[in-house]
Amino acid sequence: MGFMRAASVKDLKTGEKLGVVLGGKPVLLVNLENEYYAIGGKCTHWGCMLIDGKIEDSRIRCKCHGSTFDLKTGAVIKGPAAKPMPSYHVKVENGEIYVEV
């Protein structure tokens, strides 16, 4: 599908997260010290929305059962989830954040 506009950099301060739907896919967009990352927005364990999770350093912990994922790569840090989250390329142009889905 290519890169799609997800948000403005003004919408996402350092340490914040934003849930968006791009190309019909839920995506979690995060700002970690002014670097932007995007992973799938639904936990691979039970499908809970990660926007409700808690950011801890460069990880997010799912609110439902505590699965923890790396926000930069989507890798599972701690289960019960066994499958990693999809990870998407992000670019910033003219103050706009684009995600490749």
Task: Decide if pLDDT at 1 tops 90.
Answer: no
DSSP state, residue 83: S
Contact 99, 89 (CB under 8 A): yes
Give the global pTM: 0.94
Tens of pLDDT, residue by residue over 44-101, are 998 899 999 999 999 999 999 999 999 999 999 999 999 999 999 999 999 999 999 9
Mean pLDDT for 4-33 is 96
Exposure string (b/e) for 33-69, b if CB count within 10 Å is 16 or more? Answer: eeebbbbbbbbbbeebebbebebeebbbbbebeebbb
What pLDDT score was predicted for residue 48? 94
pLDDT of residue 53: 96
